[in-house]
Structure formats: structure tokens, C-alpha cells
């Protein structure tokens, strides 16, 4: 089969906080208005920005990362999108050259042109120097132009446009408007279902991009279709996996769900906030999220806490990641200093704090095998059991997050990307004996 071609554009910036997500979402909405099918990807590990991008495009926004998802995984996802879409957009992470691998590495690997978003507040002609630096830093990267965000006036626009060289045009500018700021809290953006103004923001910024160079389709890119992947063994055939999913537990990669189903698992979602019993399952996955924002409600749901203890005492598998780890400890102290009892499956207390904890990419060296993932949290756990291992950072010698194992409970601050090791993932969730009743 011939390699599918699809217009594609990489939206990056010199740093975080420039407006990449707003521009990417508005650009997706603009092309959707023109009757085009848009597929969006987000560079690196992220659960919150993709929800905004999904809202704008109407399609799931998947992570792309040369380390976590792997080059083969990125290639497969892009080739599939190219067969379905009229336009592929990729939002970068942090600054264009930040991280190893960086957004630039991803754009170069697949030959995708880059547009850089600048927060122009407090700058004018200096943007030209910064853009020149981004464009010339790597000889194989193609920076096709810039977007100036937070423009104060028509004169501000003209100063930037005049200073830029011809090969780095000002493709669009967005007026300064405090109402267009995407609200955030610790760990990232507020999800769309908790943000009533998101649609209006996307529409307003899309209006500003209408009629600019960004309203035209970018250059087409060829995305070769990978060789037929091996069929995954049905190691989870007949295994019923209960997955916590509600406002408190929502950090779930769609690729993780697809992998579990592809290996034969039956997925059953439940809400630790609202349900009083577990579905009839053989294993549990407690993903990350914001349990600290709902600690009182979680603590008051005594029937669910009892059901979790019954599941644990029966020796059935549990994977608890980050927010899930907080939930299985004895207590959680919220940012106001209030102490809330949690499930108590494992000894220890977690306390919220003002600054972030250990962050970045890490591998979890589990007895079942090594899985890749990342950590990003605003709490610290103490009084926990002795870890069985520590996360391995790909580019730093310091140990990463602790990995705990108690019976069939596996808990850590690390968010795992299941496709990085399907066999190890299946072993994590496989019960000693599947209940056939």
C-alpha cells in the first residue's frame, strides 16, 4: 500500500506558557469549520491538554513521544491518522528544543514543518532574533513562521512583522484578551467538563485565525505505513478489569485502554466518588487524577473503601498510579491541612504541598518487566513500606519514584504507558485464578 500523504503542522514555542494549546485548539476548530477532518497529537506525557484539543477537534488527541511511545508507535499512529484526516496537528511540549528527546527531534524524525508561538507581551523586534535562533539551531528543522500571541495593538503587530526575515513570516497574531486565558491549577489545565467558557475561547481565537496564512493547509507529508504488527497474545482473555474513572481519577491514556482490550480484557468503569460497590472484576486499575480535590467525598464513601479492602484481601491484582497511590494509603492531607482517611491498603500518609514533586520520564523496573511512563505530582508520601524498586530516569542518574509491592498491590507515583511492554502489563493484571462464574 502506498504511503498516505496528509498536510501536517507542528505547533511549538520557545518555552512553556506561550499559548501553544490555545493556538492548536483554535487552529483545529478553524479547519473543522472549513469541513476538514483534523487529527491532533500532543507531544510527551499529558492528560489535560489533550482533553482541550479533543474538545476543539472532536477526536481523541493521542500522545506522541519518541521515548515513551517509541518511534514505531509514533509512526503507526501518524500513518493511521494520515489515512483518516485532512490535516494533522501536533502540539509540542515545553520549548522546541527542551527535553531529550525534544519536540524538535519529533518534528525532524517525521519531516513536519514547525510553527512557533510567541507570547509577545513585553517584546516586539526581539521576537525576530529568538525566531532566527530557533530556526537556525538545527539544520534539519524547518521553521516556517511564527504566531504572535498577546498582541497589544496594530502597531505592536507591525513592529514584529517588519523585523522578521522573509523566510520567517508572521503567519498570524492574536490580540491580548484576558478572557482567552485557559484556566489552570496544579498539574495543568482545568478539564473541559469543569470549564464553562472553553468553547467560547476556542471560537474567539479561531475567529482571529480566519483569513490568516494558518487558514490554508500546510505542506503535505508522507507517512509510511509500518509493517504489519504482530497480533497481541490474548493474555488477558476473560479477565475483567475494573477501572476507576470520574472527576477524581481521570488520567488515562486511550492507548492503555486499547491495549487491555486488544489482549482480551473486559473493561468495567466505576466511580470511587459516586458508586458504593465495585463491579464484579478480577483486577483493579486506580489511575491518577485529583483525589486531593475530592478527599472528603472519597473518605465519606465507606462502602467503596470497604469494597476496595475486600478486593485487596482476596489477593486480586490492583495497580495504583499517582492519585491511585494516594487513595490506597491510610490518609491524605489536603492543601488546607485537613486529614482524610483513605482506603488503608498500604501503610503511609500523603500530604499536598505547594511545589511539584519528582517529575519527568521514568521507567518502572517491575518484577514482571520494565514499563515506561512518567511522574508529575504535587504531594509527598511518607511512612510507606520499603520500595521494591525505584524508577529509572532515561537521562539522569538519580533514582526516580519509589515502586511499592504488597501482595498483588502495585503502587507508585509513576504513570505507566502500557504499550511500552504489553507482556508485563498483562502480568500486572492477571489474577492467580480467573473467576469463571
Q: Identify whether the C-beta of residue 261 lies closer than 8 Å to the C-beta of residue 252.
A: no
Q: Which of 74, 322, 339, 358 is catalytic?
A: 322
Q: Is 358 a catalytic residue?
A: no
CA distance 93 to 225: 25
Write the CB contacts of 174 (distance below 8 Å, at least 6 apart in sequence): 19, 22, 23, 147, 148, 149, 150, 151, 180, 205, 208, 209
Cβ burial of 74 (10 Å; 0-12, 13-18, 19+) is: buried
C-alpha cell at 392: 529509572
Whether the CB-CB separation of 255 and 63 falls below 8 Å is answered with: yes
Catalytic residue numbers read 322
Amino acid at each position: 500500500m502506498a504511503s498516505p500523504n496528509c498536510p501536517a503542522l507542528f505547533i511549538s514555542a520557545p518555552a512553556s506558557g506561550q499559548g501553544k494549546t490555545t493556538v492548536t485548539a483554535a487552529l483545529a476548530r478553524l479547519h473543522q469549520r472549513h469541513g476538514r477532518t483534523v487529527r491532533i497529537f500532543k507531544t510527551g506525557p499529558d492528560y489535560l491538554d489533550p482533553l482541550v484539543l479533543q474538545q476543539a477537534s472532536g477526536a481523541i488527541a493521542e500522545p506522541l513521544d519518541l521515548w515513551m511511545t517509541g518511534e514505531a508507535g509514533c509512526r503507526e499512529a501518524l500513518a493511521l491518522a494520515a489515512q483518516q484526516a485532512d490535516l494533522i496537528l501536533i502540539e509540542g511540549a515545553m520549548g522546541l528544543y527542551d527535553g531529550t528527546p525534544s519536540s524538535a527531534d519529533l518534528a525532524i524524525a517525521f519531516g513536519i514543518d514547525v510553527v512557533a508561538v510567541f507570547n509577545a507581551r513585553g517584546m516586539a523586534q526581539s521576537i525576530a532574533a529568538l525566531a532566527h535562533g530557533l530556526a537556525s539551531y538545527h539544520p534539519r528543522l524547518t521553521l516556517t513562521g511564527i504566531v504572535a500571541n498577546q498582541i497589544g495593538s496594530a502597531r505592536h503587530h507591525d513592529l514584529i512583522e517588519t523585523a522578521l526575515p522573509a523566510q520567517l513570516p508572521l503567519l498570524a497574531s492574536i490580540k491580548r484578551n484576558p478572557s482567552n486565558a485557559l484556566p489552570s491549577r496544579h498539574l495543568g489545565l482545568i478539564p473541559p467538563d469543569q470549564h464553562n467558557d472553553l468553547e467560547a475561547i476556542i471560537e474567539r481565537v479561531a475567529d482571529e485565525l480566519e483569513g490568516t496564512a494558518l487558514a490554508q493547509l500546510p505542506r503535505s507529508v508522507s507517512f509510511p505505513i509500518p509493517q504489519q504488527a504482530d497480533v497481541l497474545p490474548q493474555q488477558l482473555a476473560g479477565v475483567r478489569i475494573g477501572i476507576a474513572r470520574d472527576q477524581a481519577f481521570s488520567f488515562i491514556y486511550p492507548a492503555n485502554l486499547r491495549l487491555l482490550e486488544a489482549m482480551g480484557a473486559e473493561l468495567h468503569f466505576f466511580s470511587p466518588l459516586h458508586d458504593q460497590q465495585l463491579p464484579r472484576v478480577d483486577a483493579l486499575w486506580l489511575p491518577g487524577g485529583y483525589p486531593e480535590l475530592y478527599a472528603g467525598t472519597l473518605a465519606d464513601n465507606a462502602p467503596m473503601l470497604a469494597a476496595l479492602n475486600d478486593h485487596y484481601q482476596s489477593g486480586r491484582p490492583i495497580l495504583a498510579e499517582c492519585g491511585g497511590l494516594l487513595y490506597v494509603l491510610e490518609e491524605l492531607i489536603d492543601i488546607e491541612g485537613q486529614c482524610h482517611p483513605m482506603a488503608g491498603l498500604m501503610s503511609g500518609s500523603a500530604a499536598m504541598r505547594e511545589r511539584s514533586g519528582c517529575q519527568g520520564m521514568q521507567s518502572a523496573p517491575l518484577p514482571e518487566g520494565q514499563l515506561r511512563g512518567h511522574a508529575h505530582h504535587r504531594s509527598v508520601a511518607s511512612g510507606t513500606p520499603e520500595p521494591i524498586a525505584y524508577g529509572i530516569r532515561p537521562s539522569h542518574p538519580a533514582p526516580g519514584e519509589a515502586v511499592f509491592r504488597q501482595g498483588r498491590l502495585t503502587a507508585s507515583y509513576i504513570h505507566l504507558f502500557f504499550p511500552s511492554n504489553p507482556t508485563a502489563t498483562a502480568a500486572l493484571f492477571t489474577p492467580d485464578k480467573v473467576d469463571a462464574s
